[in-house]
Homo-oligomer: A and B are copies of this chain.
Amino acid sequence: MSEARIIDGKAFAADLRGKIAEGVADVRARHALVPGLAVVLVGEDPASQVYVRNKGEQTREAGMHSVTHRLPADTTQDALLRLVDQLNHDPSIHGILVQLPLPAHIDSAAVLAAIDPAKDVDGFHVVNAGRLAVGLPALVPCTPLGCLMLLKDTVGSLRGLHAVVVGRSNIVGKPMAQLLLQADCTVTVAHSRTVDLAETCRRADILVAAVGRPEMVRGDWIKEGAVVIDVGINRVPARDPAAAAAGKTRLVGDVAFEEAKAFAGAITPVPGGVGPMTIACLLLNTLTAACRSRGLELPPMVTTARGTPV
């Protein structure tokens, strides 16, 4: 039994962002097209502030046009819908991301439904979910898209492999299953109602854990040599009891990493695995949306990047 290869999502994402930056330079030069991403943040949620700042920085680093709209927490739904409508009609904006969660007085579903599906770079609109489901070109949710790229880079062709996705959220589990099915995997979706989850996981050549429960997937749930993609990011008390008592925390995934390493052929760590891929795929979706708005193909340096599923 040899130890798993650690899939370096941080390096992969950095490489992908570099290719996207080259692609942006290419469409700027050849087509005078400047991909633009608008991020909308309502309220003062500290985690959201960090995400939004990172998204803005990485968008600019990729050479894209970046706009951030920071609205007060008491913004009305009507005002937010007016902003979305304005962005839908703004020709300099190709991607619109409304940062979740929204304040409780706003109907998130109504706001997400108001985004032009062609600019829905989060891939949460029902039209994009439907296009993905029936196999039409879609904007695909960033996290599962990033997982697929890591998998293709690690495994090569996924054809005929048995993929088990644990979790059935609209944001990760369900679109992940669709992508794996398109890649010709036999796909099993397991979840909290699955009767023998350990045994189901043991049948996986590819195991994607997206349940949000710290270290739920144990080492002996993993088939020898399987590729494990850990989507979970859970904050738990620090290992050292004194530090934990002082309120120190650490991040763990949905997979018990140290145990799993002994069984898996390859595995993503937390942090530094799937996490960095999400914003990189947001940039990829923005470039895709910009190119499609002009009827252009993605530039070749992007379509030939490692693991690119397009």
Contacts and interface: CB of A to CB of B under 8 A. Distances in A.
A244 interface: no
Number of copies: 2
A136 interface: yes
A186 B181 contact: no
Contacts of A142: none
B188 A195 contact: no
Interface string A114-134: 000000000001111111111
Nearest to A203: B203
A129 B189 CA distance: 18
Interface residues on A, range: 20 to 34
Contact of A193 (B129, B130, B159, B189): B159
A162 B130 contact: no
A200 interface: yes
A189 B181 contact: yes
Interface string A157-183: 001111000001010001001100100
A195 to B, nearest CB: 5
A191 interface: yes
A130 B109 CA distance: 14
Contacts of A125: 130
A71 to B, nearest CB: 26
Contacts of A191: 181, 184, 186
B186 A189 contact: yes
Interface string A51-85: 00000000000000000000000000000000000
What are the 4 A-B residue pairs with the smallest beta carbon separation, nearest first? Answer: A130-B130, A126-B130, A129-B130, A188-B188
Interface of A: 125-136, 159-162, 168, 170, 174, 177-178, 181, 184-191, 193-195, 200
22 contacts: A126-B130, A126-B134, A127-B130, A129-B130, A129-B133, A130-B131, A133-B133, A133-B174, A133-B178, A162-B195, A177-B189, A181-B191, A184-B191, A184-B193, A186-B189, A186-B190, A186-B191, A186-B194, A186-B195, A186-B200, A187-B189, A188-B188
